[in-house]
């Protein structure tokens, strides 16, 4: 590394209001603490006669001890994982401006109620009459989601958004096939999330990509041309991944419906719409929600999520079985008798613990969910207004919950979106989303969510302004960031070329 | 509202800064006829204490105070309070997928440890982190065998968890992948006489579960040998992962699909759990799901990154190995912490306790006239009994004594209505096992 750069590696203290560096602990892998005879959890003594495994299972079925398994005490486990945790960034530490990811506050009460005895303890195969509380939670959530989306029926089974996409596509397929009109193709705009085309393939369809127009929106003339009798559906993200509402949504839905195709909406950006407008009202036939985005369930470093799918009446017969229902006598049940169902996409009822948290979130706001949407859109527009001019805005359209800049101006100094994103770390912020959507070269996709105060937004804006200045005055500094983390930029090429995917002694 | 950090005046000032008069101006791109004019009809808003009350009321409508002998894919095991305390640290709970490696070394290091633990347990060379659950892990493993072998059908044992098979059928039928089910013998194991050379030379894989849905261990080395002799792979599912503390791991299998719920994750009425796929190094590029790999930074310091991402949807889109994006990272972390605590000695002791308790329960129940062991194969902590009457009727009587009885096989195997699967883990005290046996005895003594 160039010594001139290391001399000035951190921003001057006056520039950074949010963070300063402090000591953090070194820590090896847990296996490196292991010594024979240590343990971190004890079991009560066995209160029945101990059997001989070899006699009971047969020598061929019995294993020796698990080679390499850790042997550590409780305090070592606590320190190990606490130290690791301090190497992460988190919403609880500050703004997490990842566009499209909707990193909002995860209310603590949701964690509390998910762990209650009588909820966390329940077995999915226990009798329905002893599961009325669980089933009512599922039913109440379903009703809330239907009201928010304006749809008619729902499944809560899919484990995440991508699985919801698959479930929705399978219902579309079953619908067309039930009409003796099997179709082969699904249209996807070039601005879509990568899961959309991947899900289409797993549903057994072919992907046809359609180009966005110069406004980043669906070109309706193009759509008319592409929407042949072979097209089963269009998968549309609305607002789009540019954070822009599809202004011609009614026309889009009419074009599809006239041709017998359906409109699938990727609900990843529902946090721009909740309480303001309803997809069911603007022609959507099927959609999924990502409860770990709009409905605040914690992302947990990659999951779990939940991906409920909402449909219009015409698709209800095809919902994955079983479906949660309320009987006329007021009790709750699981309806397994669904002869036209696409089948099961996951064992049991779904990610109950995630669904429960989403209900807790919805109940906290009630109709006030509209204020959440308004604040998210207000925050995105505030950032846009304050950074416009410093960063290139490739699509000058009204932003909703997120704003997409590009690195065009900084490119002139050899600084790209990834460099700026990494430099944000030195200012105490998580990077925004880089290089997505694909229709924006050098995209910088920023989504603040409703959870940010004006103070936090102002610090973010200051950081971005400061980095823009650095990109001109000292591009090397930005290109080699981050400078304040435990490790510098890691060699991803080497990691992929000769993968080391497990610890070995 | 307590989650929203803005004062009314700040909102007004920010609108002015943006240059709009009202918030509605920021929504003008939504056609007016679609804009809602009245509030949604939703319950709430509720304060924190009201939310707690709502969920406590729901909890009271469930099964408090019952003793359960259900397994069937979800297991009650002892858990330390430590994993739950650690996964609630905001730095783990509220962080995103670790794409920005420098700012996510905590999560990445833990994922690397999870992958290592899964390899050690399964006897496989590489494991991902993670899949949604066991059922989708198995299904993705099946799709993977098609990519590896280029063959378009699989044989799946009927003794695989029925809901796992349903998921596999849902995915397979739209992809033109044929899934043929193979029955079981009196041992409860897959009927190997049905694995003809003709069949094996056409299929991508033979798919079994061990311990299987009846609790019986499958003969993995023999099945692997048959499959491999004809160019097919062997896929094994494990729903009761604690078994791996004492049961020989499926090292001969080509792909292991595992449900990790047994590693300290609460039943939570069906999820979230954590699925895992483990396999051989040579198949890693056909594997779905995330992988953390070790590397170094410019100064040679060890660090971890997500790697081999060219398999994944965000890079490869329609050519990806899977559509999975969000996974179950937090529960992979919980399982990792649990396994570190229980450790090398503890995992074996726990498995041994399960085996001993199940054998004790089995002996007690087999003393009852008319109760027989349904299958002759070796079992771990679940075993199938044949009763002189339908399990459904028996269970109805047991419920009155606050006992949730055996899993009723008749639900998915219409020919087995008198058979039920009993699961006994280390959590069930001896006295409850004895009460269970006594209640079964008195119930069966009474006429129907």
Task: Average the pLDDT over A178-187 and give the result.
Answer: 97
Q: Is A382 helix (H, G, I), strand (E, B) or coil?
A: helix
Q: Which residues make Cβ contacts (< 8 Å) with residue B219, sequence separation at least 6?
A: A60, B189
pLDDT band at B442 (very low <50, low <70, confident <90, very high): very high
* A contacts of B59 (beta carbons < 8 Å): 116-119, 133
With CA atoms as reference, the chain B residue closest to A145 would be: B42
Residue A11 is predicted with a pLDDT of 65
Q: How confident is the model over A227-266, as pLDDT tens digits?
A: 999 999 999 999 999 999 999 999 999 999 999 999 999 9
Q: Are strands B403-404 and B302-306 parallel, antiparallel or unpaired?
A: unpaired
Give, for B386, the enclosing helix (H) or strand (E): strand B382-386
CB atoms within 10 A of CB A22: 6
CB A227 within 8 A of CB A256: yes
How far is A77 from chain B, CA to nearest CA, in Å?
7
Burial class (CB in 10 A: 0-12, 13-18, 19+), A43: middle
State both tokens at A172. Answer: 């579309």
A295 in any annotated domain: yes
In eight-state DSSP terms, residue A314 is: G
Helix (H) or strand (E) holding A347: none
Confidence at residue A1, expressed as pLDDT on a 0 to 100 scale = 39
What residues 165-224 of chain B have any CB closer than 8 A to a CB of chain A? 166-167, 169-171, 173-176, 217, 219, 221
Tracing tokens 């085309």 back to the chain, one arrives at A197
Residue A413 pLDDT greater than 60, yes or no: yes
Whole-Å CA distances, A452 to A375, A445, A455: 9, 16, 8
Q: What is the pLDDT of residues A101-136, one digit of tens each?
A: 999 999 999 999 999 999 999 999 999 999 999 999
Torsions phi, psi of A392, nearest 5? -70, 135
**Residue among B14, B63, B74 whose CB faces A130 most closely:** B63
Chain A contact for B393 (CB, 8 A cutoff)? no
Residues in CB range of A189: below 8 A, 6 or more apart: A209, A210, A211, A212, A218, A235, A236, A237, A240
ipTM of the complex: 0.98
pLDDT at residue A6, as a whole number: 45
pLDDT tens-digit map of A422-476 = 999 999 999 999 988 999 999 999 999 999 999 999 999 999 999 999 999 999 9
Q: Please indicate, yes or no, if residue A424 is contained in any of the structural domains.
A: no
Instruction: Specify whether the CB–CB gap between B197 and B231 falls below 8 A.
Output: no
Short-list A317, A16, A377, A407, CA closest to B18: A377
Nearest by CB to A71, which of B56, B82, B344?
Answer: B344
Closest-CA residue to B280 (of B148, B135, B156): B148
Q: Where are the domains of chain B?
A: 67-78+343-445, 82-338
pLDDT of res. A16: 77
CATH for B82-338, among 3.40.640.10, 1.10.1740.10, 3.30.70.1140, 3.30.420.40? 3.40.640.10
B162 close to A (CB below 8 A): no
Sheet of strand A433-434, all strands in order from the earlier edge strand to the far edge: A403-406, A443-446, A433-434
The answer to whether the CB atoms of A65 and B345 lie below 8 A apart is yes
The rounded distance, in Å, linking the Cα atoms of A311 and B364 is: 51
Q: Is A446 helix (H, G, I), strand (E, B) or coil?
A: strand
Q: Residue A9: what pLDDT?
A: 56
Cross-chain Cβ contact A88/B60 below 8 Å: no
A472 falls within a domain: no
Number of residues assigned to chain B: 448
- Residues of B numbered 310-339 whose beta carbons fall under 8 angstroms of chain A's beta carbons: which are they? 310, 312-320, 322-331, 333, 337-339
- Tell me the CA end-to-end span of chain A in Å, nearest whole number: 32
Q: Which pLDDT value is given to residue B315?
A: 85
255-284 in A: which are within 8 Å (CB) of B? 273, 275-278, 281-282
Q: Read off the pLDDT of residues A30-87 as tens digits, 9 standing for 90 and up.
A: 999 999 999 999 999 999 999 999 999 999 999 999 999 999 999 999 999 999 999 9
In this structure, the number of other CB atoms found within 10 A of the CB of residue A425 comes to 20
When CB atoms are compared, the residue of B318, B333, B380 closest to A301 is B333
Does residue A5 have a pLDDT over 50?
no
What residues are paired with B118 via a beta bridge?
none
Fold of B67-78+343-445: 3.90.1150
Q: Which residues of A83-109 are buried (b: 16+ CB within 10 A; e: fewer)?
A: bbbbbbbbbbbbbbbbbbbbbbbbbeb
Nearest to A367 among B39, B331, B426 (CB): B39
CA distance B310 to chain A (A): 9
- Is the pLDDT at B189 greater than 60? The verdict is yes
Is residue B246 predicted with pLDDT exceeding 80? yes
A65 and A145, same structural domain? Answer: no
Give me B174's structure tokens.
């739209």
Peptide bond into B130 cis (omega under 30): yes
Contact yes or no for B329 and A301 at CB 8 A: yes
| Domain extent for A296 | 114-367
Classify the C-alpha dihedral A114-A118-A120-A126 as positive or negative.
Answer: negative
- Is there a contact between B96 and A430 if contact means CB atoms under 8 Å apart? yes
Average pLDDT, chain A: 95
Burial label for B33, CB within 10 Å (0-12, 13-18, 19+), is exposed
Distance, CA of B5 to CA of A105 (rounded, Å)? 11
Model confidence over B352-396: pLDDT tens digits? 999 999 999 999 999 999 999 999 999 999 999 999 999 999 999
**Could you say which of A117, A482, A502 has the minimum Cβ distance to residue B116?**
A502
Q: Are residues A53 and A198 in the same domain?
A: no
Claim to verify: residue A65 and residue A197 sit in the same structural domain: no
Does residue A323 sit within a domain?
yes
Query: What pLDDT was estimated at residue B312?
Result: 87
Residues A292, A153, single domain; the answer is: yes
- A244 and A196 fall within a common domain: yes
pLDDT band with cut points at 50, 70 and 90 for residue A333: very high
| pLDDT at residue A2 tops 80 | no
B365 dihedral zone (left: phi>0; alpha: psi -120 to 50; beta): alpha
CB contact under 8 A, A42 and B346: yes
- For residue A20, what pLDDT band results from cuts at 50, 70 and 90? confident
A238 with A168, same domain: the answer is: yes
Residues A119 and A76 in one domain: no
pLDDT band at residue A366 under the 50/70/90 scheme: very high
Tokens of A123: 């077995």
Residues A133 and A65 in one domain: no
Whether the pLDDT of residue A8 is over 60: the answer is no
Query: A90 — phi, psi (to 5°)?
Result: -160, 155
Percent of chain B having pLDDT more than 70? 100
Map residue B341 onto helix, strand or coil.
Answer: helix
Chain-chain contact of A117 with B43 (C-beta, under 8 angstroms):
no
Classify the phi-psi angles of A283: left when phi > 0, otherwise alpha if psi is within -120 to 50, otherwise beta.
Answer: left
Length of chain A: 505
Place of tokens 């047994």: B262
Q: Is residue A47 part of a domain?
A: yes
| Nearest CB partner across the interface for A350, out of B266, B270, B297 | B270
Residue A104 lies in a domain: no
Q: Could you tell me which chain A residue has the CA closest to the CA of B325?
A: A162
Is residue A186 one of the residues assigned to a domain? yes
Based on the fold, state whether residues A293 and A359 are members of the same structural domain: yes
The answer to whether the Cβ–Cβ distance between A400 and B349 falls below 8 Å is no
Does residue A107 fall inside a structural domain? no
The CA distance from A149 to A147, in Å, is 6
Query: Would you state the pLDDT for residue A165?
Result: 98
Distance of CA B123 to the CA centre of its chain: 19
A88 touches chain B (CB under 8 A): yes
Claim to verify: residue A52 and residue A128 sit in the same structural domain: no
Q: Are B359 and A299 in contact (CB < 8 Å)?
A: no
Pair (A166, A234) in one structural domain: yes
Q: Say what percent of chain B tops pLDDT 90.
A: 96
Q: Residue B169's pLDDT is what? A: 98
Q: Say yes or no: A184 and A274 in one domain.
A: yes
| Per-residue pLDDT band at B2 (split at 50, 70, 90) | very high
Q: Which residues of B touch A86 (CB under 8 A)?
A: 91, 106
Sign of the C-alpha dihedral computed for residues B172, B174, B180 and B186 taken in this order = positive
- Mean pLDDT throughout A211-215? 89
- Does A133 touch chain B if contact means CB atoms closer than 8 Å? yes
Q: Can you give the pTM of this predicted structure? A: 0.97
In chain A, which among 15-74 make CB contacts under 8 A with chain B?
Answer: 27, 29-31, 34, 36-44, 46-51, 53, 56-58, 60-63, 65-72, 74
Q: How many domains does chain A contain in total?
A: 2
CB contact under 8 A, A123 and B27: no
With cut-offs at 50, 70 and 90, classify the pLDDT of residue B310: confident
Secondary structure (H, E, C), A134-178: HHHHHHHHHHHHHHHHCCCEEECCCCCHHHHHHHHHHHHHHHHHH
């Amino acid at each position: 590394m160039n010594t001139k750069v290391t001399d000035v590696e951190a921003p001057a203290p006056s520039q950074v209001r949010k963070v300063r560096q402090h000591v953090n602990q070194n820590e090896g892998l847990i296996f490196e603490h292991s010594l024979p005879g240590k343990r971190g959890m004890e079991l009560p003594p066995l209160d029945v006669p101990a059997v001989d495994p070899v006699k009971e299972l047969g020598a061929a079925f019995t294993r020796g001890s698990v080679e390499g398994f850790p042997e550590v005490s409780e305090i070592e486990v606590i320190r190990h994982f606490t130290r690791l945790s301090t190497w992460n960034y988190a919403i609880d530490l500050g703004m997490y401006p990842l566009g499209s990811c909707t990193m909002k506050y995860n209310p603590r009460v949701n964690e509390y109620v998910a762990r209650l005895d009588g909820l966390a303890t329940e077995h999915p195969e226990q009798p329905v009459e002893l599961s009325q509380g669980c089933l009512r939670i599922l039913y109440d959530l379903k009703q809330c989601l239907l009201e928010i989306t304006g749809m008619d029926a729902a499944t809560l089974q899919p484990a995440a958004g991508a699985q919801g996409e698959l479930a929705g596509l399978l219902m579309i397929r079953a619908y067309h096939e039930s009409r003796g009109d099997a179709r082969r193709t699904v249209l996807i705009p070039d601005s879509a999330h990568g899961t959309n085309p991947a899900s289409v393939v797993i549903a057994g369809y072919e992907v046809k990509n359609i180009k966005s127009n110069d406004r980043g929106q669906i070109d309706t003339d193009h759509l008319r041309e592409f929407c042949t009798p072979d097209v089963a559906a269009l998968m549309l993200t609305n607002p789009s991944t540019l954070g822009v509402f599809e202004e011609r949504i009614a026309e889009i839905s009419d074009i599809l419906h006239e041709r017998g195709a359906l409109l699938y909406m990727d609900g990843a950006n529902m946090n721009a719409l909740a309480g303001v407008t309803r997809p069911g009202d603007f022609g959507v036939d099927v959609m999924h929600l990502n409860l770990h985005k709009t409905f605040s369930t914690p992302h947990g470093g990659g999951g779990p999520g939940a991906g409920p799918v909402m449909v219009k009446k015409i698709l209800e017969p095809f919902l994955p079985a079983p479906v949660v229902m309320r009987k006329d006598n007021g009790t709750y049940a699981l309806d397994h008798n669904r002869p036209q169902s696409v089948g099961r996409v996951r064992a049991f009822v779904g990610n109950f613990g995630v669904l429960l948290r989403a209900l807790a979130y919805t109940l906290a706001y009630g109709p006030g969910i509209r204020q959440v949407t308004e604040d998210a859109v207000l925050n995105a527009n505030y950032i846009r207004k304050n950074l416009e001019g410093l960063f290139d805005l490739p699509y000058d359209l009204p932003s909703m919950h997120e704003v997409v800049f590009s690195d065009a101006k900084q490119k002139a100094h050899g600084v790209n979106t990834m460099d700026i994103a990494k430099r944000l770390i030195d200012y105490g912020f998580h990077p925004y989303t880089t290089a997505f959507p694909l229709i924006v070269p050098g995209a910088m996709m920023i989504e603040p969510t409703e959870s940010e105060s004006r103070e936090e937004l102002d610090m973010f804006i200051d950081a971005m302004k400061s980095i823009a200045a650095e990109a001109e005055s000292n591009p090397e500094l930005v290109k080699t960031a981050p400078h304040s983390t435990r490790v510098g930029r890691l060699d991803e090429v080497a990691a992929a070329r000769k993968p080391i995917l497990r610890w070995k002694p | 509202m307590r989650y929203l950090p803005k004062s009314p005046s700040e909102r007004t000032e920010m609108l002015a800064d943006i240059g709009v008069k009202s918030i509605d101006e920021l929504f003008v791109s939504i056609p007016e006829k679609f804009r809602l004019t009245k509030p949604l009809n939703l319950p709430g808003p509720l304060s924190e204490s009201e939310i707690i009350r709502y969920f406590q009321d729901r909890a009271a409508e469930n099964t408090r105070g019952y003793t359960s002998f259900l397994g069937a894919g979800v297991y009650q095991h002892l858990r330390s309070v430590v994993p739950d305390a650690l996964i609630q640290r905001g730095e783990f709970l509220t962080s995103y997928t670790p794409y920005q490696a420098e700012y996510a070394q905590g999560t990445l290091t833990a994922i690397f440890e999870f992958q290592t633990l899964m390899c050690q347990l399964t006897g496989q060379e590489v494991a991902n982190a993670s899949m949604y659950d066991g059922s989708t892990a198995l299904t993705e493993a099946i799709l993977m065998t098609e990519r590896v072998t280029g063959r378009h059908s699989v044989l799946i044992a009927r003794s695989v968890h029925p809901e796992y098979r349903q998921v596999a059928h849902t995915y397979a039928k739209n992809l033109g992948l044929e899934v043929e089910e193979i029955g079981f013998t009196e041992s409860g194991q897959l009927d190997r006489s049905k694995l003809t050379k003709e069949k094996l030379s056409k299929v991508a894989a033979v798919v079994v579960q061990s311990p299987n849905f009846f609790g019986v261990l499958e003969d993995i080395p023999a099945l692997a040998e048959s499959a491999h002799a004809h160019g097919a792979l062997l896929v094994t599912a494990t729903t009761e992962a604690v078994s791996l503390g004492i049961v020989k791991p499926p090292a001969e299998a080509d792909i292991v699909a595992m449900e990790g719920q047994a590693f300290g994750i609460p039943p939570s009425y069906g999820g979230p759990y954590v699925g895992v796929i483990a396999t051989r190094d040579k198949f890693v590029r056909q594997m779905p799901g995330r992988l953390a790999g070790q590397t170094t930074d410019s100064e040679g310091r060890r660090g971890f990154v997500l790697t081999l991402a060219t398999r994944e949807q965000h890079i490869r889109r329609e050519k990806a190995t899977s559509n999975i994006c969000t996974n179950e990272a937090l529960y992979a972390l919980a399982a990792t912490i649990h396994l570190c605590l229980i450790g090398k000695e503890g995992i074996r002791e726990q498995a041994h306790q399960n085996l001993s308790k199940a054998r004790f329960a089995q002996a007690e129940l087999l003393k009852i006239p008319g109760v027989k062991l349904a299958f002759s194969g070796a079992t771990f902590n679940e075993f199938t009994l044949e009763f002189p009457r339908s399990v459904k009727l028996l269970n109805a009587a047991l419920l009155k004594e606050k006992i949730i009885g055996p899993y009723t096989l008749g639900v998915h195997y219409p020919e087995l209505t008198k058979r039920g699967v009993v699961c006994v883990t280390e959590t069930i005290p001896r006295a409850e096992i004895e009460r269970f046996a006594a209640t079964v005895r008195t119930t069966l003594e009474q006429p129907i």
